[in-house]
Homo-oligomer: A and B are copies of this chain.
Amino acid sequence: MKQFLLTLTFDGSAFHGWQVQPNALTVQEALQDAIERILGVRESVTGCSRTDSGVHADNFYCTVRTEKVISAQKLKMGLNAVLPPEIAVKEVKKVPLEFHPRYDAKAKEYRYLIFNKDYKQPFYVNRALFYPWKLDAKFLNEQAKAYLGTHDFSAFCAAKSDKEDKTRTIYRADVLENGDFIEFHVCGDGFLYNMVRIMVGTLLDIQKGNLEKDSIPAILESRDRKNAGQTALPDGLYLHRVFYDAEEVRLLDER
């Protein structure tokens, strides 16, 4: 038995998220179908994270275990030959069986992309939030700093989440201007259900005047979802990377 770590990138607009579910096409299922075509057996795949329907990935990590004899490079090329065009395998590495892509994740980084012009960008349909009202990246960047550090994020969690401990630590929260786009980068030790999308929606509601300037600390303190802003559409959300610890990264580099 050996284990491979796959780095994927995918356009999530074609899928109902990562996780296999009945009567809906998911990235996990499409990948398992491709693996079955290449290896001749249906192996299960473990992902680094659930992702919502419509959410994209620059880098999504998952593992697959198999008894079959195949090299990392051949697995990569075979999968890329049969996967649908919305999913690509960027890298395949052999990793120790002990490695787990979700439990061993030390931090995750997401980016949220906003196209901030008064027309819709044809090349970013379903791939960015179309937001026609002028945003002030410098102001939003200042507001976003209130997310940094360790907080109870109950106010930034969809009501249906059943996770008990809602304390998370945010290491990075930056709003950047990039041409006609505004991008929100957030890195933390973990994220609750819809958390990044509510963080973005709250920033947009502050810019719009629906929520008060500098109100994020009080919203966090309240632990009440009703006080935060809207849940921004999934269109602009990309899982950007997952951080594993230094020793694991060294192990991951062994082929």
Contact = CB atoms under 8 A, between A and B. Distances in A.
Which of A9, A76, A88 lies at the interface centre, i.e. has the most chain B CB atoms within 10 A of its CB?
A88
Interface string A100-126: 000000000000000001111111010
A10 interface: yes
A122 B86 contact: yes
A89 B9 contact: no
A120 B10 CA distance: 10
A125 B121 CA distance: 16
Interface string A53-97: 000100000000000000000001100100001111110000000
A11 B123 CA distance: 6
A197 interface: no
Interface residues of A, number: 22
Nearest to A84: B122
Interface in A10-64: 10-11, 56
A28 to B, nearest CB: 16
Contact of A120 (B56, B88, B118, B122): B88
Contacts of A90: 117, 119
Which of A9, A80, A122 lies at the interface centre, i.e. has the most chain B CB atoms within 10 A of its CB?
A122
A119 B80 contact: yes
Contacts of A127: 123
B11 A88 contact: no
Interface string A120-140: 111101010000000000000
Nearest 3 pairs of A and B residues by beta carbon: A88-B119, A11-B122, A85-B125
Given A86-B122, A90-B117, 9 more contacts: A9-B122, A11-B122, A56-B123, A80-B120, A85-B120, A85-B125, A88-B122, A89-B119, A123-B127
21 contacts: A9-B121, A9-B122, A9-B123, A10-B122, A11-B122, A11-B123, A56-B123, A76-B119, A77-B118, A80-B118, A80-B119, A80-B120, A85-B120, A86-B122, A86-B125, A88-B119, A88-B120, A88-B121, A88-B122, A89-B119, A90-B117
